Chains A and B, each alone.
Chain A
Amino acid sequence: MSADTRAQRRRAGVRLWLPGLWLGLLCLAALAAPWIAPHDPLAQDLMLERLPPAWVGGAEPGYWLGTDSLGRDVLSRIVWGARIALVVALIAASAACLLGSALGLVAGYFGGWPDRVVSRLVDVWMAFPPVLFAILLVAVLGAGLHSVILAIAIIDWTRFARVIRAEAMVQARMDYVHSARIGGAGRIGTLLTEVLPNVLPSVIALLALEMGVAVIVEAILSFVNLSISTDDPTWGSMIAEGRASIHFAWWVLVFPLVALFLTVLSFSQFGEGLKDRFDPVLR
């Protein structure tokens, strides 16, 4: 193995374990929220409003990241918020991925009219600004977690369809696809055994990226009050509330932002790392 691919492999390693660590922690926190969150995320106590984080003067013991303007514990809200963020990320991104990849594969591999139909659909879809589209959809479907998930899937399948179609198209022209046909494989069989494994790394990288996007979209929808009930702890609503007190209680805004940022970054880096890991040339 050459030095170059070894260096690349090491980079892929860091890309995998560092984001993996954060995402793993987040998943654990989300699963164990009822037990590890130090306080009830909804419990208000106006006596405790805007307590600073533990290491700043005037902190109250037990409120590690401080409290917000209603006296709710920021850490507990972030932990519970991770639940919602991850549920949305997993379900919405997977749905968008399945729908988009399937259509992209069929369009790219078969060409002809299936391609024309899918491509046209993607063009029309992408003509809408996605965030506006999401807000519109949720407004129509009614606020709530279900609508958020549905909206993300309905909007973001095009991202998969476009990329996977282009890749499948390249793959379809490769000689090993012809050689599978020569070797007796049917069209669908060739699609599944020859084309799919070669586009899978891209699918996975995109999926991870999409999970990050889903987290952001959910945050945005919460931010504009269109996700779930305003009380429920979501990162988006925390950020929205934190804005108001940025000058005298920065922690209310900063901690959910950091969680959001780290999560989105981790998803995208994790995706890239996985892609490299799946590449036999680098393995």
Chain B
Amino acid sequence: MADLFEVTDLHLSLPDMTAKPLIGAAPRIEILKGLSFTLPEGKVTGIVGESGSGKSTLGRALVRLLEPTGGSIRFAGQDITHLPEPALAPLRRDLQMIFQDPMSSLNPRHTVGRIVAMPMKRFGRGGSRAEVAAALERVGLPAGFAARYPHELSGGQRQRVGIARAIALSPRFILADEIVSGLDVSSQAQVLTLLERLAAEMGLTIAFISHDLSVIRRLCAQVIVLQHGRIVEAGPCERLFDAPRSDYTRALIDAIPLPEIDPGWLGREVVQT
């Protein structure tokens, strides 16, 4: 199968504002230190790693909310590494994103209907009342929710709105950045099975960022493990879980508390790498 994304030697550094001297430029901290990988079309790829390893930064570079400082990103054959905003505009529809915190990613002053309709209108994908209702329907929300404000929804419902907004544009790619880490297990199960179903139906390519390997195991075809801005391991999901090659991956897997009685688990030291 063709690759939708081809990333080679991706570097990204950001100015470190906390260390900015009074005069002159802030020193830059390198966050992504040369990543190469591909995302196969129509598959879900998991990106894991501990907090601060650069997962979100990588994701935001893929959808070009951030501009890489080195290397290249090719999307559907086109080099988008340094595309300026106007040239990027027609591609935006295909590069969608669902955010971690559904409260802060939905404008509190807009209704759900408006939140879903606005991007549809901008990209000429409809946006009428009926079309918004249909989009909400697809994520299992009643049409009446269009008139509500984000704070009037539960966390799981908000996250569905985020999904509805993204898929209403029929994009080719969706970045899902820790979209269930704020939800309780039953809402989490609902949202993830929904995303899984939609991805299969629409043939979506998804980059799924999470630090929960159990969730990754269920959803993803391949996994990329990040640590300190580098890829420590990548490969098909099953292989990675059955025979992790790096100690770090093993430590991550070991640290997952399974819902099973295991008196020795707490006592086993976390392998620090």
Q: Is the CB of A183 within 8 A of B107?
A: no
A197 on the B face (CB < 8 A) = yes
Q: How many of chain A's residues have a CB under 8 angstroms from any CB in B? A: 19
B145 on the A face (CB < 8 A) = no
A58 on the B face (CB < 8 A) = no
Q: Is the CB of A179 within 8 A of B89?
A: no
Q: Is the CB of A184 within 8 A of B92?
A: yes
Q: How far apart sit A198 and B150, CA to CA, in the bound complex (Å)?
A: 14
Chain B, 45-102, CB within 8 A of any chain A CB: 60, 63, 65, 85, 89, 92-93, 95-97, 99-101
A185 on the B face (CB < 8 A) = yes
Task: List the A side residues contacting B265 at CB < 8 Å.
Answer: none
Q: Is the CB of A187 within 8 A of B85?
A: yes
Instruction: Name, among B65, B105, B165, the residue most crowded by chain A CB atoms within 10 Å (CB to CB).
Output: B105
B108 on the A face (CB < 8 A) = yes
Q: How far is the CB of B125 from chain A (nearest CB, A)?
A: 10
Q: How far apart sit A187 and B89, CA to CA, in the bound complex (Å)?
A: 11
- Given A182-B65, A182-B97, A185-B118, residue A175 in contact with residue B105 (CB < 8 A): yes
- Given A176-B106, A193-B118, residue A184 in contact with residue B89 (CB < 8 A): yes
Number of A-B contacts (CB under 8 A): 66
A57 on the B face (CB < 8 A) = no
Q: Is the CB of A280 within 8 A of B151?
A: yes
Task: List the A side residues contacting B165 at CB < 8 Å.
Answer: 179, 183
Q: How far is the CB of B181 from chain A (nearest CB, A)?
A: 14
Task: List the A side residues contacting B268 at CB < 8 Å.
Answer: none
Interface string of A116-144 (1 = CB under 8 A from B): 00000000000000000000000000000
In the complex, what residue of chain B is closest to A178 when comparing beta carbons?
Answer: B65
Task: List the A side residues contacting B95 at CB < 8 Å.
Answer: 182
In the complex, what residue of chain B is closest to A179 when comparing beta carbons?
Answer: B105
Q: Is the CB of B101 within 8 A of A175?
A: yes
- Given A179-B97, A183-B118, residue A280 in contact with residue B92 (CB < 8 A): no
Q: How far is the CB of B132 from chain A (nearest CB, A)?
A: 14
Q: How far apart sit A117 and B87, CA to CA, in the bound complex (Å)?
A: 29
Task: List the A side residues contacting B93 at CB < 8 Å.
Answer: 184
Q: Is the CB of B105 within 8 A of A281?
A: no
Q: Is the CB of A185 within 8 A of B97?
A: no
B272 on the A face (CB < 8 A) = no
Q: How far is the CB of A71 from chain B (nearest CB, A)?
A: 56
Q: Is the CB of A280 within 8 A of B108?
A: yes
Q: How far is the CB of A110 from chain B (nearest CB, A)?
A: 13
In the complex, what residue of chain B is closest to A171 when comparing beta carbons?
Answer: B107
Task: List the A side residues contacting B63 at CB < 8 Å.
Answer: 182
Q: How far is the CB of B6 from chain A (nearest CB, A)?
A: 21
Task: List the B side residues contacting A180 at CB < 8 Å.
Answer: 107, 118
Interface string of A176-203 (1 = CB under 8 A from B): 1011111111110000011001100000
A174 on the B face (CB < 8 A) = yes
Residue in B105, B118, B122, B123 whose CB lies within 8 Å of A178? B105
Task: List the A side residues contacting B85 at CB < 8 Å.
Answer: 186-187
Q: Is the CB of A198 within 8 A of B107?
A: yes
In the complex, what residue of chain A is closest to B104 when comparing beta carbons?
Answer: A175
Q: Is the CB of B104 within 8 A of A174?
A: yes
Task: List the B side residues contacting A193 at CB < 8 Å.
Answer: 118
Q: Is the CB of A181 within 8 A of B65?
A: yes
Q: Is the CB of A198 within 8 A of B118?
A: no
Q: How far apart sit A80 and B118, CA to CA, in the bound complex (Å)?
A: 49
B119 on the A face (CB < 8 A) = yes
Q: Is the CB of A175 within 8 A of B99?
A: yes
Q: How far is the CB of A149 from chain B (nearest CB, A)?
A: 32
Q: Is the CB of B107 within 8 A of A182?
A: no
Q: How far is the CB of B43 from chain A (nearest CB, A)?
A: 21
Task: List the B side residues contacting A184 at CB < 8 Å.
Answer: 89, 92-93, 119, 122-123
Q: How far apart sit A180 and B110, CA to CA, in the bound complex (Å)?
A: 12
Q: How far apart sit A181 and B99, CA to CA, in the bound complex (Å)?
A: 13
Q: How far is the CB of B212 from chain A (nearest CB, A)?
A: 20
Task: List the A side residues contacting B122 at CB < 8 Å.
Answer: 183-185
Task: List the B side residues contacting A187 at CB < 8 Å.
Answer: 85
Q: How far apart sit A174 and B92, CA to CA, in the bound complex (Å)?
A: 19
Task: List the B side residues contacting A185 at CB < 8 Å.
Answer: 118-119, 122
B149 on the A face (CB < 8 A) = yes
In the complex, what residue of chain B is closest to A200 when comparing beta carbons?
Answer: B109
- 6 interchain residue pairs of minimum CB distance: A183-B119, A175-B105, A184-B122, A176-B107, A197-B109, A175-B99
Chain A interface (Cβ within 8 Å of chain B)? Answer: 174-176, 178-187, 193-194, 197-198, 280-281
Chain B interface (Cβ within 8 Å of chain A)? Answer: 60, 63, 65, 85, 89, 92-93, 95-97, 99-101, 104-110, 118-119, 122-123, 149, 151, 162, 165, 169
Q: A175-B104, A184-B122, A198-B108 are in contact. List 10 more A-B contacts (CB 8 A).
A: A175-B101, A178-B65, A181-B92, A182-B63, A182-B92, A183-B119, A184-B93, A185-B118, A186-B89, A193-B118
